[in-house]
Amino acid sequence: MGKVAVGTAVVCAAAACAAAALLVRHQMRSSGRWAKVMAILKDFEEKSGTPIAKLKQVADAMTVEMHAGLASEGGSKLKMIISYVDNLPTGDEKGLFYALDLGGTNFRVLRVQLGGKEGSVAKQEFEEVSIPPHLMTGTSEALFDYIADALARFVATEGEGFHLSPGRQRELGFTFSFPVRQTSIASGTLIKWTKGFSIEDTVGQDVVGELTKAMERIGLDMRVSALVNDTIGTLAGGRYSNQDVIAAVILGTGTNAAYVERAHAIPKWHGLLPKSGDMVINMEWGNFRSSHLPLTEYDQALDAESLNPGEQIFEKLISGMYLGEILRRVLCKMAEEAAFFGDTVPPKLKIPFILRTPHMSAMHHDTSPDLRVVGSKLKDILEISNTSLKMRKVIVQLCEITASRGAQLAAAGVVGILKKLGKDTVKDGENQRSVIAMDGGLFEHYTKFSVCMEATLRELLGGEVSENVVIEHSNDGSGIGAALLAASHSQYAEVEEP
Ligand code: ADP
Ligand code: MG
């Protein structure tokens, strides 16, 4: 070996040594980082834990709160609002009715031609209109004007197959999916906005009055005959086709439940209308809260920074508006404290609500061996590239923890309702089916969520009882339901003789 050659070898060896040292240091650093990532994951998993015993406590707490909310006004976080719906659709309804569904990112307008017992729903049409974000936090006038305008345009396209009886005014069922203090079947005042809507000075506002004024401003002659929410609409729509429907649960942007209560079991109703029979109760269960709920630091921060801190805690654990945001918050912590995505925190990851539940669902359902969908979502939404398979697996685990916690809590809520109705046990000689009508984009599209929810429900109820409990997807029953309720509460409906 010549002198030059030796020199080169020494330099090379030194470089190799330095490189090896760097690699070792890098590995040590990255294994330290990785340990931190796993610690955050594990901690999140533990704090989110929903063992069966805990779910049973949640179900019991739901039942207790239902009793308390029915007993007195303000007796519980659960408002247990009397809907004034005591005549669910029978199938005899006839005529042309409209419905308007507001309460999420989109609103829908819909018309149905009802043909009575034989004809049922002879024809229906709907249109979906998105709400510009600035109207969600603007003035109520601007919001209602926009809605009335869309409704008027829709009415203008009324064509063949729809017949308004001569001399009649068009009637509308208004599905307004925000908490409302109902004052009659067709009137109510706003308790608060939720699901990202925040419009000042509107609490206590007469919701139907606002819509009616907006319709008058543009010369649309239409009467609101029923004011309901998506949950009651879904219950009514479900009942129309299946008389065993006893409750409805919405899992969409928000979450809520309604059920059919025996009127005599409603203490706060005393003196109001001493009528026997059934009454639909709008639980507003999104506002349920209990010390048994598995709240993590991420949930607490999400709540504190939300438009409605301290409220809608159950909804913030379960519904489509929040699941993706919870995931983002955990990823943020991993990025900040464990350099999960490298030395800097990806700027997009810091933007609240950038990661939507449909994105999360797409990642969660990724079945490709290299988790390609996870990779592409991270890239497209968060501008994070070069993620390893190991990292992608962590993200899928986070989706699993977040979604199954929500699904299991929703199942516990349903058990709470069944308990309240005494339908959580098998009674001798009774083989009555209990059908829960379900709707909402989360339930409909997030398969792992709905599968987990059903499995948990079965587990909580046990074999024998769960045979009689049926979860039924009532696809967009709420719009039809509102139209049906407008029909059964029509100003032209004959007054029945007692
Ligand atoms: P809304 O609740 O706004 O009336 P939907 O019932 O259609 O409307 O629910 C929409 C919500 O459903 C979205 O905000 C989203 O959270 C959730 N969602 C929609 N599509 C999916 C999906 N593919 N995977 C998971 N969640 C979804
Ligand atoms: Mg909806």
What's the pLDDT at 240?
A: 87
Claim to verify: residue 153 and residue 113 sit in the same structural domain: yes
Measured from the alpha carbon of residue 130, the closest ligand is 1
What's the pLDDT at 1?
A: 40
What's the pLDDT at 9?
A: 46
Asked if residue 165 is part of any domain, the answer here is: yes
Asked if residue 20 is part of any domain, the answer here is: no
Task: Tell the residue nearest (CA) to atom 13 of ligand 1.
Answer: 253
Q: Please report, for the domain that includes residue 253, its CATH number.
A: 3.40.367.20
Measured from the alpha carbon of residue 194, the closest ligand is 1
CB-based contact 477:440 (threshold 8 Å) = no
| Closest CA relative to residue 102, chosen from 183, 200, 196, 182 | 196
Tokens of 370: 């290299």
What's the pLDDT at 108?
A: 92
Asked if residue 350 is part of any domain, the answer here is: yes
Alpha-carbon distance 401 to 327, whole Å?
Answer: 9
Task: Tell the residue nearest (CA) to atom 5 of ligand 1.
Answer: 441
Ligand 2 centroid to Cα of residue 173, in Å, is 14
What's the pLDDT at 32?
A: 87
Claim to verify: residue 382 and residue 266 sit in the same structural domain: yes
User: What ligand 1 atom has the least distance to the C-alpha of 103?
Assistant: 4
Alpha-carbon distance 315 to 231, whole Å?
Answer: 14
Tokens of 284: 């507003």
CB-based contact 30:386 (threshold 8 Å) = no
Alpha-carbon distance 425 to 410, whole Å?
Answer: 19
Question: Which residues neighbour 495 within 8 Å (Cβ) at sequence distance 6 or greater?
Answer: none
* C-beta atoms surrounding 187 within 10 Å: 16
Claim to verify: residue 458 and residue 422 sit in the same structural domain: yes
Asked if residue 24 is part of any domain, the answer here is: no
Q: Nearest-5° angle of CA 338, CA 342, CA 348?
A: 95
Claim to verify: residue 91 and residue 187 sit in the same structural domain: yes
Question: Which residues neighbour 15 within 8 Å (Cβ) at sequence distance 6 or greater?
Answer: none
Question: Strand, coil or helix: what is 207?
Answer: helix
Claim to verify: residue 226 and residue 256 sit in the same structural domain: no
| Closest CA relative to residue 403, chosen from 194, 251, 283 | 251
What's the pLDDT at 79?
A: 94
Claim to verify: residue 316 and residue 384 sit in the same structural domain: yes
Alpha-carbon distance 260 to 266, whole Å?
Answer: 11
| Closest CA relative to residue 262, chosen from 420, 414, 74 | 420
User: What ligand 1 atom has the least distance to the C-alpha of 177?
Assistant: 4
Question: What is the residue-level pLDDT of the chain in tens, covering all 498 positions?
Answer: 444 444 444 444 555 555 555 555 555 567 789 999 999 999 999 999 999 999 999 999 999 999 999 999 899 999 999 998 888 888 888 999 999 999 766 889 999 999 887 778 889 999 999 999 999 999 999 999 999 999 999 999 999 999 998 999 999 999 998 889 899 999 999 998 887 888 888 889 999 999 999 999 999 999 999 999 889 999 999 988 888 999 999 999 999 999 999 888 888 776 565 455 889 999 999 999 999 999 999 999 999 999 899 999 999 999 999 999 999 999 999 999 999 999 999 999 999 999 999 999 999 999 999 999 999 999 999 999 989 999 999 999 999 999 999 999 999 999 999 999 999 988 776 668 999 999 999 999 999 999 999 999 999 999 889 999 999 998 777 788 999 999 988 888 764 433
Q: Number of folded domains in the chain?
A: 2
Q: Which of 193, 321, 446 to mutate to test the pocket of ligand 1 (most atoms within 8 A of CB)?
A: 446
Integer-rounded Cα radius of gyration of the chain: 27
Report how far apart, in Å, the C-alpha atoms of 25 and of each of 19, 38, 343 are.
Answer: 10, 20, 15
What's the pLDDT at 496?
A: 42
Q: Which of 230, 253, 451 to mutate to test the pocket of ligand 1 (most atoms within 8 A of CB)?
A: 253
Q: Please report, for the domain that includes residue 183, its CATH number.
A: 3.30.420.40
Write out the catalytic residue numbers.
Answer: 195, 230
| Closest CA relative to residue 470, chosen from 315, 257, 238, 314 | 238
Tokens of 77: 């976080």
Alpha-carbon distance 175 to 157, whole Å?
Answer: 21
Claim to verify: residue 419 and residue 483 sit in the same structural domain: no
- Residue 380 buriedness (CB in 10 A; 0-12 / 13-18 / 19+): exposed
Claim to verify: residue 125 and residue 206 sit in the same structural domain: yes
Alpha-carbon distance 458 to 463, whole Å?
Answer: 7
Claim to verify: residue 70 and residue 90 sit in the same structural domain: no
Task: Tell the residue nearest (CA) to atom 21 of ligand 1.
Answer: 358
Number of residues written out for the chain? 498
Asked if residue 2 is part of any domain, the answer here is: no
| Closest CA relative to residue 228, chosen from 418, 479, 446, 469 | 479
Asked if residue 139 is part of any domain, the answer here is: yes
Claim to verify: residue 163 and residue 257 sit in the same structural domain: no
Asked if residue 409 is part of any domain, the answer here is: yes
- Residue 299 buriedness (CB in 10 A; 0-12 / 13-18 / 19+): buried
- Residue 340 buriedness (CB in 10 A; 0-12 / 13-18 / 19+): buried
User: What ligand 1 atom has the least distance to the C-alpha of 250?
Assistant: 6
φ, ψ at 472 (rounded to 5°): -125, 125
Alpha-carbon distance 60 to 420, whole Å?
Answer: 9
Question: Strand, coil or helix: what is 422?
Answer: coil
User: What ligand 1 atom has the least distance to the C-alpha of 439?
Assistant: 6
214's enclosing H/E stretch is helix 207-217
Alpha-carbon distance 413 to 285, whole Å?
Answer: 8
How are strands ordered across the β-sheet holding 81-82? 81-82, 278-282, 255-262, 245-251, 434-439, 469-473
Domain that holds residue 409: 51-82+245-432+434-467
Q: Which of 445, 447, 453, 478 to mutate to test the pocket of ligand 1 (most atoms within 8 A of CB)?
A: 445
> Parallel, antiparallel, or unpaired for β 94-102 and 106-115?
antiparallel
DSSP single-letter state for residue 269? G
State the sign of the Cα–Cα–Cα–Cα dihedral 228, 65, 268, 236: positive
User: What ligand 1 atom has the least distance to the C-alpha of 356?
Assistant: 16
Ligand 1 centroid to Cα of residue 362, in Å, is 13
Residue with tokens 């401003």: 217
Question: Which residues neighbour 27 within 8 Å (Cβ) at sequence distance 6 or greater?
Answer: none
Task: Tell the residue nearest (CA) to atom 1 of ligand 1.
Answer: 104
Claim to verify: residue 93 and residue 66 sit in the same structural domain: no
What's the pLDDT at 15?
A: 53
What's the pLDDT at 118?
A: 75
Asked if residue 186 is part of any domain, the answer here is: yes
Pocket of ligand 1 (CB under 6 A): 103-105, 252-253, 320-321, 357-358, 361, 440-442, 445-446
What's the pLDDT at 313?
A: 98
φ, ψ at 475 (rounded to 5°): -65, 115
Phi-psi bin for 385: left (phi > 0), alpha (psi -120 to 50), beta? beta
Claim to verify: residue 185 and residue 231 sit in the same structural domain: yes
What's the pLDDT at 104?
A: 66
Measured from the alpha carbon of residue 327, the closest ligand is 1
Alpha-carbon distance 139 to 201, whole Å?
Answer: 9
